Amino acid sequence: MCGISGFYNLNKSSIKKEFLSDMIDVQNHRGPDSNNFYYNNHIGLAHNRLSLIDLSDNAIQPFYTDEYVLVYNGEIYNFLELKKELPKVAYESSSDTEVLFYCLQFWGIEKTLEKIQGMFAFAWYNINSDELILVRDRIGIKPLFYGVDSNSCLWFASEVKTIQKVTNFKPDPIQMLMSPIGGIAEKSRKKTLWKDLFTLTPGCFIVVKGGKLYKKEYFNTTSLVNEKEYMRLSGLSLEDVTVEFGSIFNDSVKRLLISDAPMGAFVSGGIDSSLIASYASKHNSNLKLFTANVVGRYSEFNNATELSNVLGKKLYHYNFEKEMAIRDLVKVTWHYESPLVVHFNALPFSNISKIASEQKVKAVLTGEGADELFLGYPRLLTNRYKKLINFPYTILNKIYNSFSPLKSYLNSSVGSAGLSSLYELSAQEEEKQEAIQKLKGKPEITRFKGLGEISPNEFVHFIGNDIRLDPVMLDREMSVEEMLSFYMGKNTPDRQKFIIENLKVELDLIEEV
């Protein structure tokens, strides 16, 4: 884990160089091996390094030439393959950082993002064009926060506290109030607990140019849906699918182990972490195992011990008593920068991480996020009995359908359906209040569910600059008539005609932030 940070004044006003040192100090725990920065009046890029690949000073960041500057946090797993595809260059290091630098220089941002595989957050600056690009990996493994303050200065960093050290973004009382509900702050793809301070959405990058910010999505998980691949896999036997998956899984784990520093694995004795540790041990004989023993009825220490015996490796552990949760809560919340609701396991994790650090281990593999894939949750095993479990509901639903007034009531806001929409309504209210504050005065508030409640003539005059529109993106193969019929029904021909005549299909849409 490294740390990146920096600023870019949109008015080209000079910013104090000392701010870069302040930001480096705050993120020193992310990269204690070395730190440095690039500074040129209105722009500054800083880096805290945790060295994993090429431990020499040749891989120190920022990595720059007379034309470009790069600060980067993460790991590119296929950098050795990409290195072979690039034009011949006299490399100064054996790091993935330098390979990423030349990918961006020779291929540009979009082609590079198509090719690289890994977890990353980086800032790429073109000195000649004065263009800055901020990027976050496809699913948001590596953090990146950004915001523009009242002085028109863009600040970014791996942690919110780093930005707050050098400028002041005010707390958002609504987010503060709502964040403990369901771990909203922990799971948010955009918002933070501070006004005008955001987390860069996974699979997106921001271009800073001409005093403005432009945000573009380069990846969406829906793009992975492939009907031909699905049909191919459906035609395979269970044995063939298992063999193919095993090959993919093994290759993935092997790629994660590319490191010039010692590595380890966090294991709980569960299916996911045990699988990962077992495969990793085949490729790294020096892999060290660590576990947090949550003492009590939920302890999985015996399972973790059994795994270590099977693999023939020593198991380093930390006994975490329930009283320690209060002891560690403040410190871990400081690192998480949000109330701990979902990821309460961060408390024992913080202690076993300290033991890993004492053992000189700089990176670890975990089974985090793999429970759905390997059926780690018991409820996933009951899916085959879903029809049986839902049988009472199915019968009741048929009864309700036969009596339309009862069905309407149950689906209304006063019926049982209203309970599931409470948070949705509160989110809409929050958005409405933000709009009222921006518009000031006494703005007119009009609500309608869709085009079925407004005429074409009203619609054309109703839409203005102060109204937020959620566009439906179309590609050239889609039928506009079929799409409108699907979304609006077949009883609105006049409205369909109006939209079709005024429809604009935009390709490569860039959203202005």
**One-character DSSP codes across 173-212:** HHHHHHTTTTTHHHH-SSB-SBTTEEEPPTTEEEEEETTE
Question: What's residue 451's pLDDT?
Answer: 46
User: Quick one: 7 exposed, middle or buried, by C-beta within 10 A (0-12, 13-18, 19+)?
Assistant: buried
* Digit-coded pLDDT (tens) for 398-426: 666 666 665 555 555 444 444 344 444 44
Residues in the chain: 513
- Domains plus CATH for the chain? 3-223 (3.60.20.10), 259-374 (3.40.50.620)
CA distances from 466 to 148, 152, 439, 456, 500 (A): 21, 21, 8, 19, 23
| Residues with catalytic roles | 2
Question: What's residue 418's pLDDT?
Answer: 42
* Digit-coded pLDDT (tens) for 379-398: 555 565 566 666 666 666 66
Coil/strand/helix, residue 320: strand
What is d(CA 123, CA 254) in angstroms, rounded to the nearest whole number? 28
The number of beta carbons lying within 10 Å of the beta carbon of residue 392 is 9
CA neighbor of 1 nearest in space, from 140, 137, 145, 120: 120
Q: How confident is the model at residue 507 (pLDDT cuts 50, 70, 90)?
A: very low
Q: How confident is the model at residue 240 (pLDDT cuts 50, 70, 90)?
A: very high
Q: How confident is the model at residue 508 (pLDDT cuts 50, 70, 90)?
A: very low
Q: What does pTM read for this prediction?
A: 0.74
Beta-carbon contacts of 274 under 8 Å, excluding residues fewer than 6 positions away, are: 267, 303, 307, 367
Would the pLDDT of 191 be above 80?
Answer: yes
